Structure 1
Amino acid sequence: MRFVHGFISVVLWIIAIPLLLVAVARLLPFDNVVSLPHLVAFTPWATLLTLPLLIIVLFARRRVLTLLLAVAMAGYVYWTAPFFVPPDTASAADPADAGTLRVMTINALYGQADARSVVDLVESQHVEVLAVQELTPAFEDALADAGLDELLAHSFTVPADDSPAGSGLWSSTPLSDEEELPGTSFAMPSALVGVGGTDVRVTVVHPHPPMPTEITTWRTELVELTEQAHADDTPQILAGDFNATYDHATFRDLLGSRFSDATREWGAGPAVTWPEAAQVPPLFALDHVVVEKDMPVSDVVTMQVPGTDHRALLATVVVE
């Protein structure tokens, strides 16, 4: 019996340690150390696994482990619960209103996304601003052939051949004051979009992913984006593949006290967008629409697009 008791304890600790490590990683105010960005990304899933394990160790009378898991579970609930709290007004805004903007972002996976499906979504979802990452010249041509320019006649694109570095911005209304964030691995174009008499700067976001040998690059590019966004007093919307979830400290630093993550504000749960594949369901919410805190959002949803490993993310943003 003593052997069985000890064996069960070892098994429970082996299962619990990764969940406790994720909680510690999420608690830290930084994420620019190897493995931290990857651990933190599992926070929502660690939440789901910690609860049943806590119940098991409680009945198994493992006091120390019960205490540790209870503390971790309290943290997980505190971090994830706001994603399931709808706003005071949870009704969808009308995209046809002059003061609203229907925004969609999609990572096209080296331009392999199905262009016709993207354009169909733009039409059916009444998209007024489209942000595309991993834009290639061939994919830009395919979007044009599928009729995108007839729906969104104005664009600022920076395509790249055989590379994830290209990005593009399309709008149903004229663009002005076009800019590109300098010194980044992938293009991050931006421009002013008129929304009901208010100029809003829309930026296509795509920092380098936090590969084990490129974590510094990932964080540096997000910090540069943060500094530029907060230095500009113009109302802003940032949309794209941030290669970060809300649980990453660097992403929360970008939000600061000024910006909000549309998915979290809408309160319908995390919008997981990657990896999208037939064999693997999406696990991580890497794609975001970030808005000013005084811009209400509604109807935040994800949509499948054949040919890419990301889901499209759509949101209606009330500018005024």
Structure 2
Amino acid sequence: MPRERRPRSTAALVGTVVATGAVAAGAAVVGAPDWFGLAGQRPFVWTVPFRVPVGLGLAGLAVLTGLTGLRWRRTLPAATALALAAAGSLGTTLARGVSPGQVPAARAGDVTVLAANVYLARADRDGVARLAVDGLADVVSLPESTREYADDVATRIETATGTGVQVFYRDDRDDRFGTALLVSDRLGEYRATGELTGGVKAVVTAAPVSGDGPVLAAAHTAAPVSGLLLPWAAEVRAVADWCARTPGALLAGDLNATLDHPGLHLRGSCVDAGAQTGTGARGTWPARHPALLGATIDHALADGNRWRAVGSRVQEIPGSDHRALLSRWRPVG
């Protein structure tokens, strides 16, 4: 009898090991495709921004598999593998921070930046202006704006603060909407530089006419939809590269990517405000879902040799499908 049982026992053990390995590998890829260089590939390009829902799904599968283990113990290793993958996915999210955030009082030399996708110029204009005024924003990035919309928001800010606002604007490829960069006169006079205009959906760059103010950019890259994956990857990388190579840079906008996507694997001195201040995994899109379950695709980036983020806050934008990101940057040293 013992000799008859060994083959069955060995075959069962091998089957369990193979099945557990397959489950563990699959769960690891689903939970952290960026670890395997797959975050820019279908279908993971669309799942990696939603780490919390993915992590919760893996956790649910772990529980169900564990319950079957009460009867068939061979499923317990698979349940453990699923639980570890869920913990890894959720742990990465928690490490980046999911709180709404807070912004400390401004000091002399600080620069405050507001990124607000205004949803095809449908967001409430007074509400957007109020976000800038209440946040003491020196720089405002308005993706999906029109020139008229940007001018109107700038006028409302000027009326509320008594300080002039320069408006720089670039049309999107369809010539209907674009991205606006609003710069308070508190930073001095600026001029458009025309950088990043080749092959990027809508990016506005500006530099101080004199002095040592920050070089600024408002950005909106292509979305990672099926027909635009190659342009999307190139545009996100171009924006991140600009941040890395531009001394004193401050950039904000809708980058349609998270820090897990290969284009936003920041290098050089470029840093992300949310990652530095605890809002790096607070969802900014879609606004109709809880922020904890959303994708963090609106960002503020900077040259970390010149600036450090001292606070950030994710806020609702009346009438938009995005949430706004307010970040405050302080000179290094």
TM-score with structure 1 length normalisation? 0.80
CA distance in 1, matches of 2:119, 2:111: 25
Alignment match of 2:301 (pick from 290, 299, 303): 290
Alignment match of 1:303 (pick from 290, 305, 315): 315
- 1:252-263 to structure 2, matched below 5 A, reads 252=265, 255-263=266-274
Quote how far apart the aligned CAs of 1:168 are. 1.2
Q: Which amino acid aligns with 2:321?
A: D
Answer whether contact 2:281 2:296 (CA < 8 A) is retained: yes
Secondary structure of 2:33's counterpart equals: helix
CA change 1:79–1:194 in 2 (3 A) is farther
- 1:1-320 to structure 2, matched below 5 A, reads 21-61=29-69, 62-84=75-97, 92-95=103-106, 97-148=107-158, 150-159=162-171, 165-172=177-184, 173=187, 174-176=189-191, 178-192=193-207, 198-232=212-246, 234-252=247-265, 255-268=266-279, 270-277=281-288, 280-282=289-291, 283-294=294-305, 295-320=307-332
CA distance in 2, matches of 1:211, 1:122: 31
CA distance in 2, matches of 1:144, 1:112: 16
CA change 1:92–1:107 in 2 (3 A) is closer
Runs of at least 4 residues off by over 6 Å: 15-18
Matched-pair identity in %: 23
Answer whether contact 1:133 1:206 (CA < 8 A) is retained: yes
Secondary structure of 1:107's counterpart equals: coil
User: Which has more radius of gyration?
Assistant: 2
CA distance in 2, matches of 1:160, 1:91: 32
CA distance in 2, matches of 1:19, 1:165: 40
CA distance in 2, matches of 1:188, 1:105: 13
Quote how far apart the aligned CAs of 1:161 are. 9.7
CA distance in 2, matches of 1:57, 1:219: 37
CA distance in 1, matches of 2:272, 2:60: 29
CA change 1:111–1:151 in 2 (3 A) is farther
CA change 1:223–1:160 in 2 (3 A) is closer
Secondary structure of 1:188's counterpart equals: strand
CA distance in 2, matches of 1:23, 1:63: 19
CA distance in 2, matches of 1:187, 1:268: 25
Answer whether contact 1:133 1:164 (CA < 8 A) is retained: no
Q: Which moved more, 1:153-162 or 1:215-224?
A: 153-162
**Which residue in 2 is equivalent to 1:10?**
none
CA distance in 2, matches of 1:130, 1:222: 20
Q: How many residues align?
A: 296
Deviations 1:225-261 (A, max 9, x none): 23333333x1112200010112212211xx1142222
Quote how far apart the aligned CAs of 1:104 are. 0.2
Q: Which amino acid aligns with 2:253?
A: G
CA distance in 1, matches of 2:55, 2:206: 39
**Which residue in 1 is equivalent to 2:7?**
none
CA change 1:210–1:30 in 2 (3 A) is same
Secondary structure of 1:179's counterpart equals: coil
Quote how far apart the aligned CAs of 1:101 are. 0.9
Q: Which amino acid aligns with 1:63?
A: L
Answer whether contact 2:116 2:325 (CA < 8 A) is retained: yes
Q: Which amino acid aligns with 1:246?
A: L
Answer whether contact 1:84 1:268 (CA < 8 A) is retained: yes
CA distance in 1, matches of 2:102, 2:290: 28
CA change 1:36–1:165 in 2 (3 A) is farther
Quote how far apart the aligned CAs of 1:130 are. 0.6
Answer whether contact 1:135 1:158 (CA < 8 A) is retained: no
CA change 1:194–1:235 in 2 (3 A) is farther
Answer whether contact 1:111 1:138 (CA < 8 A) is retained: no
Quote how far apart the aligned CAs of 1:272 are. 1.1
Answer whether contact 1:165 1:187 (CA < 8 A) is retained: no
Q: Which amino acid aligns with 2:287?
A: E
Structure 1 unaligned regions, length at least 5:
1-14
Q: Which amino acid aligns with 2:248?
A: P
Q: Which amino acid aligns with 1:44?
A: V
CA change 1:257–1:141 in 2 (3 A) is closer
TM-score with structure 2 length normalisation? 0.77
